[in-house]
Structure 1
């Protein structure tokens, strides 16, 4: 295989070449390493390199998984990898090294991938942009003046640039879907607890955060979830089982779906006209494919939803930080946390038990209203972002006051959080492009545990409105 052909293949295609003996895993690893070295100075997507370990793994026996021999990257946030540092994007945690693989890391290895290193993330994954004091800004391969999204911005930047065909990502308030939308990728937030979190899953206690991958093709996302998405025997909140493999779902017709769509925002303010126009074109495309498509918003009480979530997330972050402080053995110094992180930690420490549990109770009731919407609709369509992809620095959590960071985030990323609260699967697809040549992601959300419908619809859209031929400026 010519080295220039590597980036044209998705993960399953590369694994097929390995299976047929047309290329070796070591050749794929070296191709990925060459691209990291070529593009990372401009992108800052990969923040830890484990080249020697990857080459050694590639030269030895590999599990017979669907991605045997395929290079892979892991986000530098919540995913333990034996012997690797895990900084959480923070100066304070820069000395933390994991002793063993996490449960999902082990499943990735069983799927056959070869981890090469770790990807950039903002401090503790708090923002929807990957910019931070410790790891620096990650940039978008479509235009490096713009953000790659967050908090899985390094993963999305690397996949979009053709460094690897897929990479680990996580989503607590939109952190898979936002970078997928910014970088023109497929980004699925899976159902709560669809993928395992392991025995030490305290960081997942709220159920808001899930792990999966960002990919360039629908089938890679489906195949990886088939490989990893099964519950542990001790899973306390295991997701309902799927009917069949997702790689079979993408071969099935979605049928005629009832699809509601809306641009309603929590603030009530209109979104950018370019995003509105892209949404309307997507609704028209779906109607042309034979689906029943009706403009109708969720109609939920966003103000009450976010008010309920605030003390819950605040207390949870303070608890997570308390565990990290125990691990590090001291409190953070003033310059070891960014202003937004300090504000989050101090606010979380002030939350009383009564306030946290009142928030939980209110969330439970409010989530029922979100879930009830899907009794009448198969899919809800909205944009991922409310604006075109922002420039680097517009939502800088280091330079801006915390209140201003959150205000700007609310304008740019208004749509993703409610489905983290309700636990539903929610998918970003790169269906549109902006006038300045940056991707526009559309978000499709289905009933709880119904990834199957999303995969069937995504495969239909990938065929009818293909995005594979579009390539960013920094590529391959």
Structure 2
């Protein structure tokens, strides 16, 4: 197989070639390495391509047999591998355990070949860190690839691998999916176990999954990674059939809520509005009932929640620093992260109760506002990929922690709310701007109903296929 052929396949397609004996897992690893060597110096998506990549574990016969995979450098862990979380504070840190996520990945035949860039501790939605530099968007190197699953998104978009690990606590899979032209699902709370050490990150708001190029890969990944483990705090109802089998099931007629207006302070760009309108018309043509909806919550309330959650987690940084014999200062933390850690030191004991009550009220209000809809459609992001830097970047030395969180809540206003409610949501690359940048549309279903998302996403992919779109930087074309 040539590199030009490798990059044309999604993960399901590559796996089928391995199973048919037309290519081997080692050959795919070498092609991924070739793609890496060609484009990674340009996009800076992968910070470590494992030296032993050709011998990494992966079960034969799994659904993704032999497919190259990458790990976001925070969240799910691989025993013995570096996990530095985009932070100088964790430079040289090695994980002691395999997460259940990577146990399942190997059992499915995925070969993890390296780790990808992330902003420090996953705090920012931009693809920049002091430790690892800037990750460029393959569609336009002057624009961010999104975050915090930055390098994973850029690597998949540029053709290094067809699928990669990501994590989403407030939009960290869906943002880079939207800005990098990919499929990015944030599963229901409890759908994918975070164990054995991270079953309840940020009270269940953070979930692990993947970024990929096709809906069938998304469905297959749901089959691979779904399922509880003993001790998980959130046990969700399991599906009646596999998610791959949902690809052949009828969708039925749905009641669809369409969000055409902004939910935060950031205006929706005209190209994005056009994409929402076009998707609404398409869904009506498919026979669904489409109803316009307003924002189901106040963005100021979400800002308070995220600021509160971040402050509550600041104490763990002090513990981590002590364990490594380091201190929290400007040499170990980026400006915004350091300010947030200092802010959280003197909080009253009642602060946690206030945050939990705010979370409860948000879930209640959004649930009541949206319960009558089978799915909700929103812009994933109000804009196309933004230039690097600025107020949304945690390396910014001048912004206050309050202003950073306010800006963050406004830009990601249609994403983080569904981390709070626990609902599954997927960004699909259904449109492009006039100058060729990807535009993602977010589809949200009821809690636990990923099957609905699989069927609707399949319908939209068939009606508005995106496979033929190509970023400017892509392996095999340089």
Same fold (TM over 0.5): yes
| Aligned structure 1 segments of 4 or more residues deviating by more than 4 angstroms | 404-408
| CA distance in structure 1 between the aligned counterparts of 2:148 and 2:417, rounded to whole angstroms | 17
| CA distance in structure 1 between the aligned counterparts of 2:443 and 2:377, rounded to whole angstroms | 5
Which of 267, 283, 286 matches 1:289?
286
- State the match for 1:56 in structure 2: 55
Which of 84, 105, 111 matches 1:87?
84
Q: After alignment, is 236-245 or 218-227 more displaced?
A: 236-245
TM-superposition CA deviations, 1:362-390 (whole Å, max 9, x none): 21122112122332101111101112210
| CA distance in structure 1 between the aligned counterparts of 2:362 and 2:288, rounded to whole angstroms | 29
Query: Alpha-carbon deviation of 1:408?
Result: 4.7
Q: Does the residue aligned with 1:340 lie in a helix, a strand or coil?
A: helix
Query: Alpha-carbon deviation of 1:198?
Result: 1.1
Q: Does 1:387 align with 2:383?
A: yes
Query: Alpha-carbon deviation of 1:294?
Result: 1.1
For 1:13-412, list aligned pairs within 5 A: 13-52=13-52, 54-57=53-56, 62-201=59-198, 204-267=201-264, 270-315=267-312, 317-394=313-390, 395-403=392-400, 405-406=404-405, 408-412=407-411
TM-superposition CA deviations, 1:311-363 (whole Å, max 9, x none): 23320x21432442243133223221111101221122232221121120121
- State the match for 2:461 in structure 1: 462
- State the match for 2:12 in structure 1: 12
Query: Alpha-carbon deviation of 1:100?
Result: 2.8
Structure 1: state its 5+ residue gaps.
Answer: none
Query: Alpha-carbon deviation of 1:203?
Result: 6.0
Structure 2: state its 5+ residue gaps.
Answer: none
Q: After alignment, is 295-304 or 1-10 more displaced?
A: 295-304
- Judge conservation of contact 1:184–1:440 (CA < 8 Å) in 2: yes
| CA distance in structure 1 between the aligned counterparts of 2:267 and 2:124, rounded to whole angstroms | 22
- Judge conservation of contact 2:127–2:151 (CA < 8 Å) in 1: yes
TM-superposition CA deviations, 1:386-426 (whole Å, max 9, x none): 12210122343223533454455445433111000111101
Q: TM-score, normalised by structure 1?
A: 0.95
Q: After alignment, is 34-43 or 398-407 more displaced?
A: 398-407
Q: Does 1:439 align with 2:438?
A: yes
| CA distance in structure 2 between the aligned counterparts of 1:207 and 1:350, rounded to whole angstroms | 25
TM-superposition CA deviations, 1:262-321 (whole Å, max 9, x none): 134343563222222221111111111211111112432332343244323320x21432
Number of residues paired by the alignment? 472
Query: Alpha-carbon deviation of 1:251?
Result: 1.6
Distance 1:261 1:346, change over 3 A: same
- Judge conservation of contact 1:107–1:228 (CA < 8 Å) in 2: yes
Q: After alignment, is 158-167 or 272-281 more displaced?
A: 272-281
Q: TM-score, normalised by structure 2?
A: 0.95
